[in-house]
Structure 1
Amino acid sequence: MVVLSRPKYAEFIEEYDMRDPHFEVGMKFRSFKQFREDVRNYGIKHMVVMNFKPSNSKRCKAICKKGCPFYIWAAPMIKDKNTIQIKSGIFKHECARDHKIRHVNAKWIAHNYLEQFRADPSWSIAGIIQAVKTNEEVDISRLKAWRARGIARSLLDGDEISQIKSLYDYRLELLRTHPGSTIKFKCTEGTFQGMYVCLAPLKAGFLASCRQIISLDGCFLKGLFGGQLLSAVGIDANDCIYPIAWARVEKENRENWSWFLELLGGDLEINNSQSWAFMTDRQKERKKMI
């Protein structure tokens, strides 16, 4: 009696197969998303444009844009609906190469050239275009290169929109690691307007060993949300700058400086300012406050 063993199908391994995509009947993928991404990378490597018709939760067919016999048919496995498997296909192209591959989009460039962006965050647009043309033999527009650089910076520096949603968690973490600190938010009708930070160790160190001299200044923030950074620093025993408190506000005006200085005065217990010296430039709003 001869026992027939079940055929063993190849499983797609993203770390290796995404670099040099290849296909065979029976190959398994974790999802349709992974399958389509692998097909797009295949199109980029072989300089062909791939279309997906149909493409839904039950089946997906990858075909060549130019109409050559190439096709890949994928669908969920019968016993495991979460695993996608190549059911049939013709894996050889008979068409000419295309130098305008839409699969080389801004997101793909950002992910595949992430280390170059990490080494040179200010990588020029012309340099990005030339690198893609040399390595992928694909022409991209300046707009696509600019978008790719923006996506890469978000990946490297973090998404500012998601980070600002974590401000309350950040406040609780600062209070947990620096007991006695003052972390205040300024909100108007539920909208975030500013954040004041005075860490307990810095406050204690200033009151214990620094002279009663405080320098005030503000500067622009060049991130996605902009705004102003207000700061108060002192001078330690070695005549070096000693940070005391800082705040992020929408703009530098009398209202925000009043809010900042009232909180600073409470932290430093300044009930009578006659024994204190304040230093600032001739900025109009700060001059009025002093």
Structure 2
Amino acid sequence: MHKCGKKYHVKNCNSVWLGRKYENAFRNDPNRNVNGFRQDVVEAIKGLKQGFLYGCGPIIGVDGCHLKGPHGGVMLTVIGINPNNNSYPIYYAVVGGETKDLWEWFLTLLKNDLNIQNDHEWTFMSDKQKGLIPAFETVFPNSENRFCVRHLFGNMKTAGFRKIAYKRALWKVAGQVQLQSLILR
């Protein structure tokens, strides 16, 4: 069970932070090579995976973010929600674009690495990324798929439903867990 306190400020992982974190390991072992450093990173990632499996619920957010800059591409991300109701990073990959094949590859890696066998126990939340829905149907055919309410409202605005009353009604509906408790005014 998760027993850590909330952490409100997390520094970015950058070269200065990495240097400080692993400096002693390299100083204490002058023969240390890249493979030793790689093993440290693998162990850290294993900790993230175990933290997700034992501390987060079976709800996973999936998103793609277009990268700007000299290299471009799309960062595919998977996050969970920890007991503090904060985002918990699980996986990411940078790919050339959003296609069904790349989403299938990414989700298959996730499924295999987390050893997800009963996909009906999992819920995935996303927007309607290119190729993502068909990839879910292939890799996680029995899982629940839900859409982010913020993205749904963006789609509503595009369709002409821009008034704040529509937004409030959508959020009211999204916050209900039972149809009987929903009363629109």
> What is the deviation of 1:173?
6.3
Q: Deviations over 1:78-122 (max 9, x none)?
A: xxxxxxxxxxxxxxxxxxxxxxxxxxxxxxxxxxxxxxxxxxxxx
**DSSP-derived class of the 1:178 partner:** helix
User: Is the Cα contact below 8 Å between 1:206 and 1:242 reproduced in 2?
Assistant: yes
What residue number does 1:212 align with? 58
Cα displacement (A) at 1:271: 1.2
Kept after mapping to 2: 8 A contact 1:178/1:201: no
The yes-or-no answer on 1:200 pairing with 2:46 is yes
Distance in 2, matches of 1:245 and 1:235, equals 13
Match of residue 255 from structure 1: 101
1:206–1:244 Cα contact (<8 Å) kept: yes
Which residue, 38, 42, 45 being the options, matches 1:175?
Answer: 38
**Matched position secondary structure for 1:239:** coil
More helix by share: 2
**Aligned 8 A contact 2:100 2:131 in 1:** yes
Unaligned 5+ segments in structure 2 are: 1-33, 137-185
| Alpha-carbon offset, residue 175 of structure 1 | 2.8
Q: 2:116 aligns with which of 260, 263, 270?
A: 270
**Corresponding residue for 1:226?**
72
Count of aligned pairs between the two proteins: 103
Once residues 262 and 204 of structure 1 are traced to their aligned partners in structure 2, the CA distance between those partners, rounded to angstroms, is 18
Distance 1:265 1:287 in 2: 16
- Aligned AA (1:253): T
**Structure 1: which 5+ runs fail to align?**
1-170, 182-198
CA contact (8 A) 2:98 2:129 kept: no
1:264 partner letter:
L
Structure 2 matches for 1:97-246, cutoff 5 A? 172=35, 175-180=38-43, 199-246=45-92
CA distance in 1, matches of 2:37, 2:53: 20
Matches for 1:57-96 after TM superposition, within 5 Å: none
Shift of 1:239: 1.0
Instruction: State the alpha-carbon separation in 1 of the partners of residues 120 and 111 from structure 2.
Output: 13
Residues 252 and 173 from structure 1, CA distance in 2 versus in 1: closer, same or farther, beyond 3 angstroms?
farther
Cα distance in 2 for partners of 1:217, 1:286 equals 9
Q: CA deviation at 1:201?
A: 1.4
Q: Which has the higher strand share?
A: 1
Contact map agreement 2:101 2:135 (CA 8 A) in 1: no
Deviation at 1:180, TM superposition (A): 4.7
1:240 partner amino acid: N
Are the counterparts in 2 of residues 227 and 251 from structure 1 also a CA contact under 8 Å?
yes
Question: 8 Å contact 1:280–1:287 — kept in the other structure?
Answer: no
Q: Which amino acid aligns with 1:249?
A: V
RMSD: 1.8
1:288 counterpart = 2:142: no
By how many angstroms is 1:261 displaced? 0.6
Contact conserved, 1:235 with 1:241, CA < 8 A, in 2?
A: yes
Residue 22 of structure 2: aligned partner: none
Alignment partner, residue 106 of structure 1: none
Distance 1:173 1:203 in 2: 20
Change (3 A) 1:224 1:231: same
Instruction: Decide whether aligned partners of structure 1 residues 219 and 179 sit closer, same or farther in structure 2, where only a CA change above 3 A counts.
Output: closer
Give 1:283 shift: 2.2
Residues 227 and 174 of structure 1, relative CA distance in 2, 3 Å threshold:
farther
Shift of 1:284: 3.5
Cα deviation per residue 1:258-286 (whole Å; 9 max; x = unaligned)?
11111111111111200011111122411
**CA offsets, 1:20-55, max 9 Å, x none?**
xxxxxxxxxxxxxxxxxxxxxxxxxxxxxxxxxxxx
